[in-house]
Amino acid sequence: MAAKIKYNDVKAGDAIPTVTIDNVSRPDFVRYAGASGDFVPLHYDQTFVEAAGIPTVFAQGMWTAGCLSRCLTDFAGAGQVRRFKVRFARQVWPGDTLTCRGKVTGKSEKNGEKLIEGELEVVNQKGEAAVKGSFAVAAA
């Protein structure tokens, strides 16, 4: 696909588009369970989580990572992502509001492609990081 960004127009320190996820809710986790097949009961079964000593269900980490990945496809175009890595730092709970954001840290060329590299994070309404990540996307 045609890349959305031009290599020469991007520099280290540039912010990439922010994605806001308002009012995280249990239906998000159930919808993601159905879409992904991730039926680990920690994410929708209140009886199960209470028995495990956890106050309530929380988001699948990969749901949050999926929300974050939209920053990259909005920035570079779907199909332009070359590397996406996430580390899960803290749970995302019903009622949270998430800010998914990132910035460019460098540029390189690999296998004849021009790559933009950077870091990413998802923070909750208290400013706590739920996910930290890094990326490489292809530019024109």
- What is the closest distance, in whole angstroms, from the C-beta atom of residue 35 to another protein in the complex? 4
- What is the closest distance, in whole angstroms, from the C-beta atom of residue 108 to another protein in the complex? 15
Q: Is 79 in the site for another protein (CB under 8 A)?
A: yes
Nearest to 19 by CA among 107, 136, 129, 97: 97
Residue span binding another protein (CB under 8 A) among the ranges 7-15, 82-90, 101-109, 121-129? 82-90
Residue 80 has φ and ψ, to the nearest 5°, of: -100, -5
Closest to another protein by CB, 28 vs 96, is 28
- Helix then strand then coil, in percent of the chain rounded to 5, is 30, 35, 35
Rounded to the nearest angstrom, the gap between the alpha carbon of residue 62 and the centroid of all alpha carbons in its chain is 8
Do residues 98 and 24 lie in contact, with contact meaning Cβ atoms separated by under 8 Å? yes
- Distances 81 to 48, 60, 70 between C-alpha atoms, Å: 37, 22, 10
Q: Is 119 in the site for another protein (CB under 8 A)?
A: no
Q: Is 120 in the site for another protein (CB under 8 A)?
A: no
What are the residues binding another protein (CB under 8 A)? Answer: 1-2, 21, 28, 31-32, 34-42, 49, 52-56, 58, 61-63, 65-67, 69-70, 72-74, 77-79, 81-88, 91
